[in-house]
């Protein structure tokens, strides 16, 4: 998810200590944090989409 990656790389990663930053072609803590951010963004988008669909069905 591009939005999740943008949030991680532009906002969160500069605030993390070196151990929490994602390195190139490595499996590290930064990759796990990046994945979690993407998952949260996807979940929020899905939540908004379902609420819109549920609200449209009641009208």
If we measure between CA atoms, which residue out of 3, 5, 10 comes closest to residue 45?
3
Give this prediction's pTM: 0.78
Average pLDDT, the chain: 90
For residue 22, what pLDDT band results from cuts at 50, 70 and 90? confident
Averaged pLDDT, 17-46: 90
- Give the whole-angstrom CA distance, residue 35 versus residue 6: 12
Farthest CA pair distance, the chain: 51
Domain ranges in the chain?
A: 2-57
Residue 58: the pLDDT is 66
pLDDT (tens digit, 9 = 90+) per residue, 33-50? 999 999 999 999 999 999
Examine the pLDDT at 10 and tell me if it is beyond 90.
yes
Cβ distance 41 to 33 under 8 Å?
A: no
Examine the pLDDT at 59 and tell me if it is beyond 60.
no
């Amino acid at each position: 998810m591009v939005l999740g990656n943008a949030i991680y790389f532009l906002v969160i990663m500069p605030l993390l200590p070196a151990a929490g930053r994602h390195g190139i072609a490595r499996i590290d803590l930064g990759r796990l944090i990046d994945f979690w951010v993407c998952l949260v963004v996807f979940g929020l988008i899905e939540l908004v989409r379902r609420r819109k669909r549920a609200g449209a069905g009641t009208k």
